[in-house]
Chains A and B, each alone.
Chain A
Amino acid sequence: MTPEQILDSLQPIFRRLFEQPNLQVTRDSSALNVLGWDSLMHITLIGEVEEQFNVRFGLGELEELTCVGDMVDLIARKPRS
Chain B
Amino acid sequence: MLSIAAATTEDIPFIIRGIVASDTVPHGDGSTVYERVYGFTRAELEGFLEFALKANLPGNQLTLSEFVVLKEEGAPIGCCVGWIEGVTATPSGKAIAMLVSRFLGHRRVIDRTPQVRGLISCHPGRTAGALQLESFFVHPSARRQGHTYRLINHCLDNKSDGVGWSEIVLLSDNRPARKAYERAGFTLVPGINPNCADFQNYTGSDGFCRLRRSIPNHLSINQARTI
Residue numbers of A with Cβ under 8 A of B are 31, 38-40, 42-44, 46-47, 50, 59-60, 62-63, 66
Contacts and interface: CB of A to CB of B under 8 A. Distances in A.
A43 to B, nearest CB: 4
A42 B98 contact: yes
Contact of A40 (B57, B99, B116): B116
Nearest to A60: B57
Given A59-B99, A63-B95, A44 B117 contact: no
Contacts of B95: 63
Nearest to A40: B116
Given A39-B120, A40-B120, A59 B107 contact: no
B90 A43 contact: no
Contacts of B97: 39-40, 42-43
Task: List the 6 shortest-distance A-B pairs measured between CB atoms, nearest first.
Answer: A47-B106, A39-B97, A43-B101, A39-B94, A39-B93, A40-B116
Contacts of B94: 31, 39, 42
A44 B97 CA distance: 10
Contacts, number: 48
Contacts of B180: none
Interface string B98-135: 11111000110110010011001000000000000000
Contact of B106 (A39, A46, A59, A66): A46
Secondary structure at the B interface, as helix, strand, loop or mixed, is helix
A42 B102 CA distance: 12
A62 B60 CA distance: 14
B110 A44 contact: yes
Contact of A47 (B57, B93, B101, B116): B101
Contacts of A66: 90
A46 B120 contact: no
A43 B106 contact: yes
17 contacts: A39-B94, A39-B96, A40-B97, A40-B109, A40-B113, A43-B97, A43-B98, A43-B100, A43-B109, A46-B98, A46-B101, A47-B107, A47-B110, A50-B106, A59-B98, A59-B99, A63-B57
Contacts of A63: 57-58, 90, 95, 98
B55 interface: yes
Nearest to A56: B102
Contact of B102 (A31, A39, A44, A59): A59
